Amino acid sequence: MGDLGTDTTIEQVDEGRFRATPSRDWEIWGPMGGYIASFALRAVGETTALPHPAAFSCHYLGVARFEPIDIAVTARRAGRSAASHRVEITQGDTAILDAMVWSNADNEGLEHDETVAPDVAGPDDLSSIEELLPEDAEPPFAFWDNLDAKPVAFEADWPPPGPRPAVWQEWLRFRPTPTFDDPWVDACRSLILVDLPSWPAAHRPHAWTEPKVIAPTLDLNVAFHRPTGDQPWLLCDGAAPVSTRGLFGWTARVWSPGGRLHASGGGQCLYRPMRAG
């Protein structure tokens, strides 16, 4: 089991330059994409003079190894109310991720909220994945050890006998540390949860055929609406309604038990044949 705060720690080596080492505790087909993106977000948090993450967008250019990575942050616009920074993550001569990040100051503006939270049971009314699975079941990847998970819908027999809707919803709580006082570290929770449901949602209509493909993520886009620092449990609400031309797009929303929307976003994935073994 990893700890998100510890496992996204970055070390400054020069002005605008940082170094970090991804942990194997966050493995899904290599380091989980949202986890690697978290290093970029934290590097901006250490660079910008503004207190809040506002928006994050990145292209995944390569799959990192569990070895040191280099992070370079460049200011593109630095204002009193908002700032934009570009982040490049490399590993040796390999480009891993390019990102653009907006930060913002405390600000006043028009207020409205027309969001409608999913009509699902809350985390207190659902069983954990450990309770639902056989006692000897092991998580498919190390990443899942980092989360307390309570699925909204669960089928014990998997693969199912037929297609299922391209929707994936789970209440999730990071462990061993569920929330973080640093707003940039805590925002990494939303970054990971927006990235997370891409494949689980897109796979559900096809799981019954046991397709021999994987789907690396091309890009990730996240809007941070509200801080999550006082919310241990967050609903990962994902959907992948269109899969065509060797690509699928997904959207994701992050809700708290009170029905408030904290982050939203999505991206696009590219199918690849599964390697033998």
Please indicate, yes or no, whether the overall pTM of this predicted structure exceeds 0.85: yes
| Residue pLDDT, tens place only, 180-189 | 999 999 999 9
The predicted-structure confidence for 9-56, as pLDDT tens digits, reads as follows 999 999 999 999 999 999 998 899 999 999 999 999 999 999 999 999
Strand 69-78 to strand 17-20: parallel, antiparallel, or no bridges (unpaired)?
antiparallel
Look at residue 166 and tell me whether its pLDDT is greater than 70.
yes
Instruction: Give 240-267 pLDDT, tens digit per residue.
Output: 999 999 999 999 999 999 999 999 999 9
Q: How far separated are the first and last CA of the chain, in Å rounded? A: 25
User: Percent of the chain at pLDDT above 90?
Assistant: 94
User: What angle (nearest 5°) sits at the alpha carbon of residue 64, between those of residues 33 and 272?
Assistant: 65
Residue 168: pLDDT above 90?
yes
Q: Which pLDDT score is estimated for 2?
A: 93
Q: Are 240 and 249 in contact (CB under 8 A)?
A: yes
Q: How confident is the model at residue 125, as a pLDDT?
A: 97
- For residues 239 and 260, is the Cβ–Cβ distance under 8 A? no
Looking at the predicted structure, is the pLDDT value of residue 192 above 70? yes
Position 140 pLDDT exceeds 90: no
pLDDT at residue 277 above 70? no
Q: Is the pLDDT of residue 138 over 90?
A: no
pLDDT of residue 134: 86
User: ∠ CA(274), CA(88), CA(247), 5° rounding?
Assistant: 30
User: Which residues make Cβ contacts (< 8 Å) with residue 15, sequence separation at least 6?
Assistant: none
Distance separating alpha carbons of residues 273 and 33, to the nearest angstrom: 19
pLDDT tier at 139, thresholds 50, 70, 90: confident
Q: Which of 18-27, 33-42, 128-137, 207-216 has the lowest mean pLDDT?
A: 128-137
Classify strands 69-78 and 52-60 as parallel, antiparallel or unpaired. unpaired
pLDDT level of residue 274 (50, 70, 90 thresholds): confident
Report pLDDT for 145: 95
